[in-house]
Amino acid sequence: MEIEDIVQDAKEEIESFRNKNPEGVVIIRWATATGKSKLSVILSKYFDEEIISADSRQIFRYMNIGTDKVSDEVISKIPHHQINVVNPDETYTSGRRKNDTYKIISEIHSRKKIPMIVGGTWLYIDTVYKNFSLPDIPPDMKLRDELFAKEEVTPWILHQELTKVDPEEAMKLHPKSTRYIVRALEIYYKSGKTKTETFISQPPVWPLLMLGLRREKEDTNVRINARVRDMLKSWLIEEVQWLLKQWYTKDLQSMQWIGYKEVVEYLEWRCSYNEMEDRIIIATHQLAKKQRSRFRRYIAEWIQSPRENVTYKVWRLSWLDI
């Protein structure tokens, strides 16, 4: 399907949805490098919208190139929210994210505009789509350090530990998904309740229009390769150097993300430039694979168990057309 057809189709879907639901919310989701942000910017020409980022990395200030943030020029024309919220050494919990997002949506509605949530971080979208009741449990850095240390000594032991206390959540997570496993264990040890018990799905607060952009794996991989090379040419290495000079140390969670971690390894002479580039590309391919797998499950869910007040539409994009 060509992008011109998708834009026209999306315009019609949004117009119809908004006429029926003046206080609804539009969500554009799918895997990385599918063109979600580009589509949202194109649609902004036709609608008086404000965009809410659903990217887990763009909330951090100063991390611009490696998180592929939209340009300042775009932000000056189209209001964007949930970008540049906290510093790289600060914590931004899912519970806080949900509260802030709900407040932003209400404020956008009060301005008679369209809230458009755009991104690929499934949890941040699900706080609206599935309206999870999230535990208000702040991070316990001492506990986290102890758990990470335990995992470093005995790989996958935390997944085994989670399987004993919360088998349902453990089944959702790969044993190498240490950060998510640590958070699930943290919830259990701090509250006495499992993540499965506390993450309870409820009907959405607002009517939702869920739009998805699908691409074939080969197409996505070509786009990822080009994006990584563009980031490295666009001063990603210099961005990481600047962050390190500001005492944002390499052990921070934000500095462990794809792109930043590999650049740090390059700066420490632990790999060559080409090896760094290859590592970023491979890691991003792996992320896209996980996202595609998760979103395929969503499509099956949408077809089999449609939710009240939620409308779905998914397009398959043609080769490299956006």
pLDDT at residue 319 in the model: 53
CATH classification at residue 238 = 1.10.287.890
Looking at residue 321, its pLDDT comes to 56
d(CA 308, CA 40): 25
The pair of structure tokens assigned to 210 is 């869920």
Q: Is residue 321 part of a domain?
A: no
Q: Are residues 206 and 301 in the same domain?
A: yes
Q: Are residues 116 and 42 in the same domain?
A: yes
Residue 322 lies in a domain: no
CATH of the domain at 37: 3.40.50.300
Low-confidence ranges of the chain (pLDDT < 70): 1-2, 317-322
According to the model, what pLDDT value does residue 259 have? 97
**Domain-located, residue 8:** yes
d(CA 18, CA 13): 9
Q: Do 71 and 208 share a domain, yes or no? A: yes
Q: How many domains does the chain have?
A: 3
Hunting for tokens 């592929």 — which residue is that?
68
pLDDT of residue 228: 97
The rounded Cα 120 to chain-centroid distance in angstroms is 4
Token pair for residue 106?
Answer: 């209400």
User: Does 9 lie in the same domain as 120?
Assistant: yes
Alpha helices in 78-208 (DSSP H): 94-110, 122-129, 141-153, 157-165, 167-172, 178-191, 195-198
pLDDT in the model for residue 200: 85
Q: Are residues 305 and 271 in the same domain?
A: no
**Residues 211, 86 share a domain:** yes
Are 77 and 208 found together in one domain?
yes
194 and 162 within one domain: yes
Q: What is the pLDDT of residues 196-254, one digit of tens each?
A: 998 888 899 999 999 988 888 888 899 999 999 999 999 999 999 999 999 999 999 89
What is the extent of the structural domain holding 179? 141-198
129 and 278 inside one domain: no
pLDDT reported for residue 318 = 60
User: Is this prediction's pTM over 0.85?
Assistant: yes
pLDDT value at position 1?
61
DSSP strands (E only) in the chain: 25-29, 49-53, 80-81, 114-119, 208-214, 310-316
Cα diameter, the chain: 58
Q: What pLDDT is stored for residue 187 in this prediction?
A: 93
Taking the C-alpha atoms of residue 189 and residue 198, their distance in angstroms, rounded to an integer, is 13
